[in-house]
Chain A
Amino acid sequence: MLPAPSIYASISYPSLPLPSPILYKSIAGSSIISQFCLDACQMDQILPQKFVLEAQEAESISQYLNLPSVQHLLPRLVQSAQSLARPPISNFHVGAVGLGSDGRVFIGVNLEFPGLPLHHSVHAEQFLLTNLALHGCPQLLSFAVSDAPCGHCRQFLQELRNSSSLGILVTSHVQGNLDKSLSFKPLSEILTNPFGPHDLLSEEIPLLLEPHNNGLSLLPKKALYVEGNSTNLCNGNCELSACNENSVKLSSGNREKNEKDEILLRKAALEAANNSHAPYSGCPSGVALMDSEGKVYRGSYLESAAYNPSLGPIQAALVAFLAGGGVGYKGIVAAVLVEKEEAKVKQEDTARLILKAVSPRCEFTVFYCRSAESGCKK
């Protein structure tokens, strides 16, 4: 009997082993290794391929490395983070390491998707913020990143409440001994006179990472909208595999998707839609993905005041998949999108397109919802 799938992507990792005396000595005593960053190999011995460090872990590692604070740890983890990036188009690996207000440390990496236009790419800074959102961390204090954030990211970061004071360190710009001065600069210095939420929203509207509840509920089951000519009956699967039937048994043979799974996915996608940050369009949305082991990952649409830098719900869910330990995208076997029925900003067709490129065998279903009377503004 298969274990019951969990709703939340749980990151379970063994308790952090004490670094061996030899390792510690070699790091502390080495004159070859720059004080600036440990190489990925050494860091991997301390830090397995994870996207979140709990507060105690981060503290422990800082202490082992004899650092004054966890903030000093951030730049040292950047190179290791870069190795987790997935940029098959550019091969330009970007890593970002951020410190949450609750003491946790989060990783962000860039993702690129061959076969699709470039605007579907996820930047490391976007991954980082999505990672915090996914783990319910309410504030990002500072982050270190391998390369200067591009304008698109500097704009996306404006969605944070404390954006102008967000501290940023670019490791490729730092010369010499890191310990002397941690050169974090505020975001306001690298995007002056920004355009952002303050230009469009009133103060009480929740911003990115703040609790959202869009008051959405799924449409009644009997009014379940299945577009006649949509490819719900012939999705990515049909187009590509000749002998695929529209049955619950997936061709991977691994797992039989059942009604219980569908309910789980739908519930997760609805939750993600309810948590979605979409104050500009009023069109929140969420996606839930399930892998071949029945594990569920969910992501919420995260909108930008400048529109174009908005992070789509599929991308947000893919961030959750990777941050949750997912390996190959082909392991994603089912996806559900929840969005408003008559949305001015619709994700459905785009979501289908992305999934077709990323995981062709993934079964994709869309459910529509509506907001309660007292729900979000539009």
Chain B
Amino acid sequence: MDQILPKKFVLEVEEAQSIRQSLNLPSVLHLLPSLVQSAQSLARPPISNFFVGAVGLGSDGRVFIGVNLEFPGVPLHHSVHAEQFLLTNLAVHGCPRLLSLAVSDAPCGHCRQFLQELRDGSSLEILVTSHVGGNLDKGPSFKPLSEILPNPFGPHDLLGKEIPLLLEPHNNGFSLLPKNAVYVDENSSNLCNGECELSSGNEISGQLSNGNWEKNEKDGILLRKAAFEAANNAHAPYSGCPSGVALMDSEGKVYKGSYLESAAYNPSLGPVQAALVAYVAGGGGGYERILAAVLVELEEAKVKQEDTARLILKAVSPRCEFTAFYCRPAKNGPAKPNLVGGY
């Protein structure tokens, strides 16, 4: 399969069709389980060494891969499950709907919950390759999500029907601050970020200690713009606190990821994770090649990502320069949920 399918995370429509044909399969749906094992090999789970691969079919005919990611040095709740990677991959590539997915192991409850964020999530068709006995050609046994998570708790319990769900277009109505009034929080460690804490001889300059690449103002603007776009696309209808992260690697390539919230709160996917999915799916190599990161989030966010983002990046790519920018919603932006009281 690796000869047909190099290490890619997206198959275009024609590609998927031609592979299906060369394998003599009746439909692209039949192709999904055949690609799972190959997908598993792309996973990065250095804590468990438990490789999970998920292969999904988008409504536009494209095929997407999802794999699990684990990050030594930080608590386990930062892990990315293959199903989450898959959905984030679709979001990164603007695919509006997931029809079905094949996965190496039964989705855990955390993922079954995360999948509820999709419109009509209950009807999403799922096949578990480790559960399929016998000949796959007979007919892949896809079952709807509702069968493995009956009576679910989800967006329908909390949101009006008109609120966009995961993969649907979002525009959180942030406005770029005027150029001369870019708001940089003075209390954040913009001046002493993850790098300072760890390297003794590091200066806050454009020259990064590995000597490879000099981050310049143009790059800074690119990153900020990408993070801002990612924040605008974020799915955060429960907290009203969208956020986005953009990463830049040593070749100056930019990857962006949007915060993806879950109705059940805890399964929410952080913006750093979403950006790391974009990085891995975009062909990024080792995490140490990530040299700069920008987070954009609301100024007075009840759900703040900044410190956590810094923590993850410190563990994942210690040399990465991290900056947080704050923004305010536009006057006519989407209504914020009624966040009352603190404790």
* Complex interface bits, A146-179 against B, C-beta within 8 A gives 1, otherwise 0: 0111111111101000000000001001000000
Partner-binding segment picked from A84-92, A207-215, A248-256? A84-92
Is B307 in contact with chain A by the CB < 8 A criterion? yes
Given A86-B343, A152-B266, A193-B148: A345 and B110 interface contact (C-beta under 8 Å): no
Nearest A-chain residue to B154, judged by Cβ: A150
B342 at the interface (CB under 8 A from A): yes
CB of B270 closer than 8 Å to a CB of A:
yes
Partner of A119, one of B111, B157, B265, B343: B265
Known: A151-B111, A307-B76. A89 touches B339 (CB 8 A): yes
Partner of A152, one of B105, B264, B270: B264
A280 and B153 form a contact (CB under 8 A): no
Query: Within 8 Å of chain A (Cβ to Cβ): is B30?
Result: no
A155 touches B265 (CB 8 A): no
- Whether A308 and B267, one on each chain, are in contact in the complex, defined by CB atoms closer than 8 angstroms, is yes
Flag if B339 contacts A150 (CB, 8 Å): no
A115 to B305, CA, bound (A): 8
CB <8 Å contact, A89 and B266 = no
Known: A118-B261, A190-B150, A328-B343. A346 touches B266 (CB 8 A): no
Chain B: CB-nearest residue to A111: B343
- The segment out of B18-26, B67-75, B91-99 that lies at the interface is B67-75
Q: Is the CB of A346 within 8 A of B308?
A: no
B76 touches A303 (CB 8 A): yes
Number of interface residues of A (CB under 8 A): 59
Interface Cβ pair total, 8 Å cutoff? 180
Contact of A312 with B by CB under 8 A: yes
Whether B7 sits at the interface, judged by CB under 8 Å, is no
Q: Which residues of A contact B338 (CB under 8 A)?
A: 91
Closest residue of A by beta carbon distance from B341: A88
In the complex, the chain A residue whose C-beta lies closest to that of B105 is: A195
* Distance of A152 Cα from B338 Cα, bound (Å): 25
Are A195 and B113 in touch, CB under 8 angstroms? no
Closest to A231 in B: B197
Confirm or deny: A277 has a beta carbon within 8 angstroms of a beta carbon on chain B: no
Q: Are the CB atoms of B268 and A344 closer together than 8 Å?
A: no
Complex Cα–Cα for A156 and B212 (A): 45
B17 at the A interface (CB under 8 A)? no
Cβ distance B25 to chain A, nearest Cβ, rounded Å: 26
Within 8 A of A (CB), among B253-300: 261-268, 270
Q: How far is the CB of B291 from chain A (nearest CB, A)?
A: 21
Stretch with Cβ within 8 A of B (4 or more), from A71-79, A218-226, A347-355: A347-355
Closest to B337 in A: A90
Interface centre among B74, B108, B111, B112 (most CB of A within 10 A): B108
| A residues neighboring B (CB under 8 Å) | 86, 88-92, 112, 114-119, 121, 123, 147-156, 158, 170, 173, 189-195, 199-200, 229, 280-281, 303-310, 312, 328-329, 344-347, 349-350, 353, 356
- 16 more A-B residue pairs beyond the given contacts A119-B270, A154-B149, A309-B109, with a C-beta to C-beta distance below 8 A: A88-B342, A117-B305, A119-B266, A148-B152, A150-B152, A150-B264, A151-B152, A151-B267, A152-B266, A156-B109, A190-B150, A194-B106, A195-B107, A310-B75, A345-B72, A356-B307
25 contacts between A and B (CB under 8 A): A88-B341, A91-B338, A91-B341, A114-B342, A119-B77, A119-B268, A147-B153, A151-B110, A151-B114, A151-B116, A155-B109, A158-B109, A170-B151, A191-B148, A193-B148, A306-B81, A307-B70, A308-B76, A308-B79, A309-B77, A309-B110, A345-B75, A350-B75, A353-B307, A353-B308
